[in-house]
Amino acid sequence: MELILERELAHQQKAVDTLVSAFEGVGITKPLLAYENPTFDNKDLRLIHNIMEIQNNIRGDYRGRRDEGEYLNLDVKMETGTGKTYVYTQTIYEMHKQYGFNKFIIAVPSLAIKAGTKQFISDSYVKHHFSDACGYNCDIELGLLESAKQRKKGFLAMPSPIRDFVTGSCQNANKIYVLLVNMHLLTNGNMLTRSDYDYLVEGFYRPFDALKATKSIVIIDEPHRFARDQKAYKAIAEELQPQMIIRFGATFPEVSEGRGRNKVTYKDLNNLVYELSACDSFNQNLIKGVAKEHFEPLSQKEEKVKLTTVVSKTSATFHFKKRDVDTKTFTLSSGDSLSIIDPVFEGITISAIGKNFIELTNGQVKFMGEEFNTDIYSSSYQEQMVKLAIQRHFETERQNFSGRQFKIKTLVLFFIDDIASYRESDDGKMPYLKEMFERLLLERLNSLIGELPDSENEYREYLKASAANISACHAGYFSQDNNDSDEAIAQEVDEILHNKKGLISLYNEDGTYNTRRFLFSKWTLKEGWDNPNVFTIAKLRSSGSENSKLQEVGRGLRLPVDENGNRISNEEFKLNYIVDFTEADFAQKLVDEINGELPITLVLNTDDLDKVAKARDVDPDDLFTELLLKKYINRNYEIRSENRDAFFAEYPEFTSGVNSNKVTDNNKNKSQQIKIRKAVYPELKELWETINQKYYLFYESDLEYEITQALHDILRKNDVFGNITVYSQRDEMTTDGKKMCLQEVSGVSYSLKKPLAYHEFIKRINSQTSIPITVIHDAMCKLAAEKTVLPEHINDYSAANIIRSFTDWRIQETQTRFRYARSTQPVNGTALTYKDGSPREMIKQGTIGTMFVEGTPSEKYLYDKIAFDSPLEKDNILMTGTGIDEVVVYGKIPKSSISIPTIVGENYSPDFMYVVKKSDGTKELNIVVETKLVENKSTLRGIENAKIKCAEAFFKQLTIDGYMVSFHTQLSNKKVKQIIEEVINT
């Protein structure tokens, strides 16, 4: 298969045209010597004028020019995946065609980028594209500068790529000489600096001097790796002394000046002539979108342990990770308890340590690099990530294979920590990750083969070929492979690194199916490696969380090519990006990074002004005048930086980037503090202290036998024992044409085997039902005598089923067979008061509501801010303060602050409390309200209904005990004013 390049793509052609236009009308001097480039004066006024004209289309804070010695610096900023290599290759051709330049040096930061650049420029399909489709009547002669091999006896010759580059004649109009060099060769060793070569090259013994004499143009790829204060950049500027440096990159270095409060950090951009931002790239569908997905943790504690290193038979090192908390490291030896890491591991110790694994006293084996939840009995979290990646792959592959006219070979990348988990060791022991992957892949293949209809018979045959040879479906590349002599590994590496066309072909040269599409690496495949047909990346490794998120997804952003080599640009594609729960905010960070590139000081364009004016039904001129008078903009339509926040708050339609209303984080709001109004609390004091009085719940004595029988019946139900299910959360990046946003879409669910120790199983049922352990054990023994219960079904899921079924029984059978009795214990500190009964200063916002309403609430309200959990609660807070004169004081009851025991085994706390008086002021009434966002009581779940019945009984008992409280349930079709009026008129 030959790849087919598209010519004159707008975003690429504009970059080339802009670069070349900088030299329009500039004096170009023909070379005096055959090996020299034509020359120009970088102080030429026409050149400076051209650059200034070009920069009129560049955002204000990215404009500017600094003198950098005797060379000209031009910058091109293009996002990963949009074709930088193509652009600078075409620029080379165009600069030669229009101005005669034919000596170019390309500097890259790594061997991977070097290999990718060489492959692109040298490939026959690229040469044909530029000569035939683009009409350039010349060829690039590429020289690849590589590390010197061990010197043999005899003469020391200057490296041939340097000799050929320097001696190539600029008078040969059909040749362009390009030298490709990586950073390491510019800064290390003496290949370019030594002067003891036995042969001259154009009169030079020293390579750097020979290269300098060519007056070359240097192209720097990935400029963030070539900061100006680094040795590599200094070698280019001081040793090569080119006429011009053109930097192409998605990311540029940052420069800081000053100290302390005077410190300023900015992008190191110099003569930026073209910018294609990440936001524009996504908005214009020039690259794939991104759909991040992670599994929610099996434990709500959101913790997991990773076995990072093993010293054979000696010690093992673990990382203990929590979301949003620094990772802790523990080193344990054989015989040590895992409870050192977390108390949940009490009773589990390391029984043995092998070469790359440990054995635990509960029989489990954990391999180096493996992650597991703090619930040690859970299935591997990593296994579920692999399973999810396989599922997402086949969803995409099936569409790419059967759902279009021309098929797309679909690839997956797995990034892992431990090479030993994938590569077989010398002792022949099967790596656990490879073994797990092949097992899960075969299971999925067999399942899918059986599901396909006859209309997808060709795809079925492709899957059958995959299942027949699982090992052929995947391959790995790791840095150590470069020194591996194994022939099979060498073939894998060559296919991944160098044979892009082969990797994305559906067929091998002999006509058989090419099923290799799952690739494993240790983050080695980064800048410089790309394959347009990567549709899924599963990040099974831990990464530096401060890495650029765009760099991380960059390996999969390019638009795909079909089986004929055509780039598909008229569809919207998504990259599936799978992470663990510690990076649940990955998508948000990616959106923030993309939108963070948007300019701080913006210029309004007339199109946007017209759109907003139309939406607001005003004249555009009047809107402009309004913005000008409010000092939001100046006469040049530029947004005033000092009023920027106020401007976007009042006119959100102009927002560029992520709209704050589109992406919210309720967890952050929960930590805010809200003030308790001490002036109004005394009116609530008696009611508050009364409903906080501790009460006990008592059942009728004859229920004991019925409980035993009920448990007996529950255990014998067919659907009680089973396995647990886990769910993933999937977030897709979307755009409204201006800014990037997030949209949550449906994830997946998997059934897991998650057994519990028998004693733990019984304890969990006991703790949530209060059924005595002896009663539960006796019931389980009787069950075992009647039928077999699989050990794997003694798990969380089964325990939850038993607890739920017993709760349902208890709700049904005990609703009228219980009573409340007041405790003699005094009321101590509460959510609103200190131990002495005085009101607290503040309360956490999350305890009274997760959402805010701007503004100040009524003076009758207990708090100084309005926080709520539902629209019904918001209406209650706003309407009560302004439309019900009889209310003396009211407030939201903090969550879980009133512990009313209930028959469902959970405590209960209502939502609102009111103190009201009749219109003549003769009678004070106390009202407690529970809000339910449903239309009628029949919609309430059994548990909720039972809790409300318990609350009714509880407040009835308060009245019997001498303190009258009226309890009401408010449904969505009833306003709180109606409830208060009904109580007043009773």
pLDDT digits (tens, 9 = 90+) for 540-555: 865 544 556 777 777 7
Contact 739, 280 (CB under 8 A): no
CA dihedral 206, 208, 210, 212 (to 10 degrees): -150
Per the domain annotation, does 275 fall within a domain?
no
> Does residue 902 fall inside a structural domain?
yes
pLDDT of residue 595: 66
Least confident of 388-402, 653-667, 715-729: 653-667
pLDDT at position 601: 45
Measured over all CA atoms, what is the biggest interatomic distance in the chain, rounded to whole angstroms? Answer: 116
Asked whether residue 514 carries a pLDDT value surpassing 90, the answer given is: yes
Q: Is 866 found in the same domain as 893?
A: yes
pLDDT for the residue 148: 76
- Rounded Cα distance between 42 and 52, Å, is 14
**Residues in contact with 518: Cβ distance below 8 Å, sequence separation at least 6, in sequence order:** 393, 411, 412, 414, 437, 441, 473, 474, 475
Torsion of CA 417, 419, 421, 425, to 10 degrees: -160
Residue 663 has pLDDT above 60, yes or no: no
Pair of tokens at residue 173: 């109009």
DSSP string, 412-431: EEEE-S-GGGTSPPTT-PPP
Instruction: Report yes or no: 245 and 116 within 8 Å, Cβ to Cβ.
Output: no
Predicted confidence (pLDDT) at residue 497 exceeds the cutoff of 80: no
pLDDT of residue 484 exceeding 90, the answer is no
Does 24 or 333 have the greater pLDDT score?
24
Instruction: Examine the domain organization and report whether 86 and 227 are in the same domain.
Output: yes
Do residues 375 and 405 both lie within one domain?
no
Closest CA to 909 of 893, 890, 926: 893
| Burial of 10: CB neighbours in 10 Å, binned 0-12, 13-18, 19+ | exposed
Report the SS3 class of residue 754: coil
Query: Are the C-beta atoms of 47 and 26 separated by less than 8 Å?
Result: yes
Asked whether 73 and 185 are in contact (CB, 8 A), the reply is: no
Q: Which of 15-29, 125-139, 849-863, 952-966 has the lowest mean pLDDT?
A: 849-863
Contact 772, 330 (CB under 8 A): no
Alpha carbons 429 and 642: distance in angstroms, whole number? 65
Give yes or no for residue 158 having a pLDDT over 90. Answer: no
Lowest mean pLDDT among 159-168, 400-409, 585-594, 948-957: 585-594
pLDDT value, residue 718: 84
Q: Are strands 887-892 and 912-917 parallel, antiparallel or unpaired?
A: antiparallel
pLDDT at 298: 54
Whole-number pLDDT of residue 428: 61
Enumerate long-range contacts of 956-963, CB under 8 Å, 24 or more apart.
957/695, 957/819, 957/820, 957/821, 957/822, 958/690, 958/691, 961/822, 963/686, 963/690, 963/926
Render pLDDT for 72-81 as a digit per residue (tens, 0 to 9): 999 999 988 8
Give the tens place of pLDDT for each residue, 714-747. 999 888 898 766 778 788 877 766 667 777 777 8
Residues 355, 375: Cα–Cα separation, whole Å: 25
> Could you tell me if 970 and 932 are in contact, meaning their C-beta atoms sit under 8 angstroms apart?
yes
* pLDDT recorded at residue 461: 96
Residue 523 near residue 543 (C-beta atoms within 8 A): yes
Domain edge (last residue) among 793, 816, 839 = 816
Q: 159 lies in a domain?
A: yes
Rounded to whole angstroms, the Cα distance separating 361 from 351 reads 6
| 297 is a domain residue | no
pLDDT of residue 476: 85
pLDDT at 596: 65
Q: What is the CATH number of the domain that holds 213?
A: 3.40.50.300
What does pLDDT average to over the chain? 82
pLDDT digits (tens, 9 = 90+) for 3-13: 677 777 888 99
How far is the CA of 662 from the CAs of 584, 655, 658, 808, in angstroms?
17, 12, 7, 40
CA separation (Å) from 463 to 390, 436, 442?
13, 19, 10
Instruction: Yes or no: say if 627 and 639 are a contact pair by the CB < 8 Å rule.
Output: no
Tokens, residue 270 = 């110099």
Highest-pLDDT range among 262-276, 343-357, 637-651: 262-276
The pLDDT > 90 percentage for the chain reads: 28
CA dist 88 and 159 (Å) reads: 25
**Same domain? 518 vs 591:** yes
For residue 176, what are its two tokens?
């362009």
Same structural domain, 796 and 932: no
Provide the residue range defining the domain that includes 125: 12-253
664: pLDDT strictly greater than 50 = no
- Whether the per-residue pLDDT at 769 is higher than 90: the answer is no
Listed range (489-503, 697-711, 966-980) with the worst mean pLDDT: 489-503
The rounded distance, in Å, linking the Cα atoms of 358 and 312 is: 9
Both tokens assigned to 128: 């044909």
**DSSP assignment string, 492-533:** HHHHHHT-HHHHT-SB-TTSSB----EEEESS-S-TT---TT
Asked if the structure places residue 415 within a domain, the reply is yes
* Res 379 pLDDT > 50: no
Give Cα 522 to chain centroid, integer Å.
19
Q: Which amino acid is at 819?
A: R
Q: How confident is the model at residue 93 (pLDDT cuts 50, 70, 90)?
A: very high
C-alpha angle 235-239-243 in degrees, rounded to nearest 5: 105
Average pLDDT over residues 657-665: 32
Write down the pLDDT at residue 665.
Answer: 32
Single-letter amino acid code for the residue at 224: H
pLDDT exceeds 80 at position 582:
no
CA distance 453 to 214: 65
pLDDT bucket at 668, cuts 50 / 70 / 90: very low
Looking at residue 580, which CATH number applies to its domain? 3.40.50
**Total number of domains in the chain:** 6
Q: How far apart, in Å, do the first and last CA atoms of the chain sit?
A: 86
Cβ-in-10-Å burial (0-12, 13-18, 19+) of 437 comes to buried
- Domain shared by 811 and 866, yes or no: no
Give the C-alpha separation, 361 to 345, whole Å.
11
Task: Give the CA dihedral 746, 751, 752, 756, nearest 10 degrees.
Answer: 110
Residue identified by tokens 């610096």 is 73
- Identify the DSSP state of 939: G
Among 479-488, 551-560, 669-678, which stretch is predicted with the lowest mean pLDDT?
Answer: 479-488
Nearest Cα neighbor of 347 from 331, 333, 356, 360 is 360
| pLDDT exceeds cutoff 90 at 217 | yes
Same-domain status, 748 and 732:
yes
Q: Quick one: which H or E segment has residue 649?
A: helix 644-650
When pLDDT is averaged across residues 883-898 and rounded to a whole number, the result is 84
Say whether both 373 and 425 belong to one domain.
no
DSSP assigned state of 39: B
**In the predicted model, is pLDDT for residue 662 greater than 70?**
no
Measured CA to CA, the distance from residue 62 to residue 68 in angstroms comes to 17
In a domain, 18, yes or no: yes
Is the pLDDT higher at 943 or at 331? 331
Could you say which of 546, 564, 596 is where a domain stops? 596
Considering the domain architecture, whether residues 785 and 768 belong to the same structural domain is answered as yes
- Taking the C-alpha atoms of residue 875 and residue 979, their distance in angstroms, rounded to an integer, is 14
Residue 38 has pLDDT above 90, yes or no: yes
DSSP assignment string, 156-201: -PPPHHHHHHHHS-TT-TTEEEEEEEEHHHHHSSSTTT----SS-B
Query: Is residue 41, in this structure, part of any structural domain at all?
Result: yes
- For the chain, the 3-state helix, strand and coil shares in percent, each to the nearest 5, are 40, 20, 40
The residue among 577, 596, 615 that closes a domain is: 596
Question: Which of 203-212, 294-303, 512-521 shows the lowest per-residue confidence on average (mean pLDDT)?
Answer: 294-303
Rounded distance between C-alpha atoms, residue 569 and residue 559, angstroms: 7
Query: Do 858 and 890 have their domain in common?
Result: yes
Q: Is the pTM of this model over 0.75?
A: no
**Residues 293 and 731 sit within 8 Å (Cβ to Cβ):** yes
* Res. 639: pLDDT tops 90: no
Are 106 and 75 part of one and the same domain? yes
Q: Is residue 514 part of a domain?
A: yes
Query: Taking residues 24-49, what's their average pLDDT?
Result: 93
Residue 297: what residue type? P
- Shared domain for 772 and 713, answered yes or no, is yes
pLDDT, position 485: 55
Q: Which long-range contacts (CB under 8 A, 24 or more apart) does 426-435 make?
A: 427/355, 431/367, 432/357, 432/367, 432/370, 433/367, 433/369, 433/382, 433/386, 433/540
- Asked whether the predicted pLDDT for residue 25 surpasses 60, the reply is yes
